[in-house]
Structure 1
């Protein structure tokens, strides 16, 4: 079951939420969560309803990723409820829109925690938002499972988890692929407001010269609202790189690639997960062949991956699942397994359940999931855009 503040809360529910929030704020000086309210108040045995709070970008520049995570989570909730995985318990996910701002994300998380309604939070995809929520979750002892948020400062304690394998930790596979193609130099263009892109551009790729003989000959910063890349492209190409790395957001990819090809560059272009979700469609033929590493390939043969793809297609027949959907799905199944292990909806018990599940791992949309502490690790797969879809890179 899903609820959105935009369309699905009744007047009665709004009044009830307001009253619960007021009461909780008045009495939550200890910072403890989960001691009252529907779903999160029982310390032993699961209640009839368990509530999760989704705080993700449903509008704004990164809505493509936030909504993807929401859709994946919805598929998981539907599976869990229809299969009876938690017995007669109904799992409910309430949706809130962080709208791409850290302040909004933190406020929504604080309100949800104060209501003492939620057993866990499904956190946002932007690291800047996740870093704002993380200390709130730790202080209140309510577990939050992030997706994306690929940078340091997100997992800061026992109550912060991540269902994404941070791509800077496996991005070297792109260097290996470029080395096999005989690439010896690269120009890098990156969004300076996205922490994981900054880390990849300034720390990971510069190490490729020593590892793979690929030297960074030019590096340019842009902003998340940049639409004219001609000056940056001119500066990059002046150094004659044999490949280009572009770390951008959403529709920026199409604009950049068109301008890059118009400037005469014909070499390989590598990217990150932001190139997925159909964001290269706007580039037309200029986007064909752009490649990036990911923890999810919908064509992978693993049974758990194909089960997810089938379930996703049943709920969203007009959309193809990608990494954001897969991570949102795995995050909810991680929590569901934690609820079952803990036999409690109390947030502190759920945190212990999350740790227990992570210790053994499980099979999910991204394949066999293994964890390093509270953080997912994955075997990367390289995909590329063929003009219509993401496909395995040869």
Structure 2
């Protein structure tokens, strides 16, 4: 069991394993009447993450990052004197389940919500909080529609599809002449493919020879992998969970693939995926805004704190982003001088400016994080920044 202090109240126990997390929680207000701060209370942040199913490893990372952030804030005095409590629920990567959890958070009076790994889940959840205006941080979900003028209470700590893949569209265009795509049949997969279609249209990039979609619940990808190999592309693009990516890489080897260049959607090549693939991800290209060798002092501190708190785990993008999401809520409440005034906190979220796990956290006018991804490659089991980008 990983060590943590002061993060979750005693009646809410979070059990962490390599690929699964279970959580319970209760809501509660964190300040006195009228939104004025009070000492000794609690600030409850509701979280929906996939703690079961295909994306459980990513969900576990999100929980660990959030726990570390809550511990860090609480150990330094809390938010306006109140301790952060995490109210964590499994969304099962299902929009209906996620919406039900968000409604529970609102009924319990949770002070803010930090939620969503999956874009389909996130898009459903933000509609649920729109009327009440509950401050909502979209943690990982990266669909373009997550943030807009229609959602003044929402910010997103992950870059949008149209931003985070740009370095890869440019880099890969200089490496291959033809490409095949293996994609998840959901908002993420379809959105990512459109980014490449748009970037490479009109002869501005490699010729796309094939695209094939798998269902998020699939466990056997051999048919679509065979289709990709048959197209004889110079490069193959893969997106999905750590389990999906590692399985596809294994199937490529079993089918004697001779595709020379493989790249994966930004942030999906993780230490978990590398471990599961057993060396098959070496040489694979991706993009990121966080690596354990990051040079920023704030990144180095997060990495060191994470390794101290969870000595058996390797920090990943999902834990770093979740850490920053909780910090956004804490910073916004301090800026608003309130833990309960939804309107003030929501407005303050878009004005936060602090150094977090991935560097500087600032948002654009619509509430989208402003981070610049860079191209990375797996070398001897480690994710390293490439030098020829």
TM-score calculated relative to the size of structure 2? 0.86
Query: Relative to 1, partners in 2 of residues 1:352 and 1:269: Cα closer, same or farther, differing over 3 Å?
Result: same
Between stretches 126-135 and 163-172, larger displacement belongs to: 163-172
Provide the residue aligned with 1:23 in structure 2: none
Q: Deviations over 1:151-184 (max 9, x none)?
A: 1332341112111112432312113222343x11
> Is the 8 Å Cα contact of residues 363 and 369 (structure 1) preserved in structure 2?
yes
Q: Could you tell me which residue of structure 2 aligns to residue 318 of structure 1? A: 312
CA contact under 8 A between 1:39 and 1:345: conserved in structure 2?
yes
> Is 2:309 the counterpart of 1:303?
no
Judging changes above 3 Å, is the alpha-carbon distance between structure 1 residues 264 and 97 closer, same or farther for their aligned structure 2 residues? closer
- Partner Cα separation in structure 1 for residue 242 and residue 207 of structure 2: 27
What secondary structure does 2:291 align onto? coil
Matched, 1:239 2:225: no
Give the match for residue 92 of structure 1.
85
Unaligned runs of 5+ in 1: 9-13, 21-36
| Aligned equivalents of 1:389, 1:108: Cα separation in 2 | 36
Q: 1:154 to 1:3 in 2, by over 3 A?
A: farther
Q: Which residue of 2 aligns with 1:280?
A: 274
Matches within 5 A, 1:194-205: 195-205=187-197
SS in 2 for 1:153: helix
- Partner in structure 2 of residue 68 of structure 1: 61
SS of 1:122 mapped into structure 2: strand
Aligned structure 1 segments of 4 or more residues deviating by more than 4 angstroms: 3-6, 209-212
CA contact (8 A) 1:218 1:239 kept: yes
Distance 1:390 1:141 in 2: 39
* Residues 105 and 53 (structure 1), Cα distance of their counterparts in 2 relative to 1, 3 Å cut: same
Aligned pair partner of 1:264 in 225, 237, 257: 257
Which structure is larger by alpha-carbon Rg, 1 or 2? 1
Find the residue that maps to 1:190 and give its secondary structure. Answer: strand
Q: How does 1:190-229 map to 2 (within 5 A)?
A: 190-193=183-186, 195-205=187-197, 207-210=199-202, 212-229=204-221
Alignment of 1:1-394 (within 5 A): 1-3=7-9, 7=13, 38-39=29-30, 42-47=33-38, 48=40, 49-84=42-77, 86=79, 88-116=81-109, 118-155=110-147, 156-181=150-175, 183-193=176-186, 195-205=187-197, 207-210=199-202, 212-261=204-253, 262-272=255-265, 273-346=267-340, 347-357=342-352, 361-373=353-365, 374-394=367-387
From the superposition, tell whether residues 40 and 129 of structure 1 become closer, same or farther in structure 2 (CA, over 3 Å). farther
**Contact kept in structure 2, 1:2 and 1:95, CA below 8 Å:** no
Partner secondary structure for residue 363 of structure 2:
strand
Contact 1:305/1:364 (<8 A) preserved: yes
CA contact (8 A) 2:242 2:276 kept: no
What do the CA deviations read for 1:269-291 (whole angstroms, capped 9, x no partner)?
11022332421323223221112
- How many correspondences in the alignment? 365
Distance 1:141 1:264, change over 3 A: closer
Instruction: Determine which structure has the larger helix proportion and give its number.
Output: 1
SS in 2 for 1:278: helix
Shift of 1:356: 2.7
More displaced 10-residue stretch of structure 1: 241-250 or 169-178: 169-178
**Structure 1 residue 52: Cα displacement:** 1.2
Instruction: Describe the SS at the equivalent of 2:84.
Output: strand
Partner of 1:33: none
Partners in 1 of 2:32 and 2:77 — Cα distance? 22
Give yes or no for contact 1:143–1:160 (8 Å, CA) kept in 2: yes
TM-score by length of 1: 0.85
Q: Which runs of 5+ in 2 are unaligned?
A: 1-6, 15-23
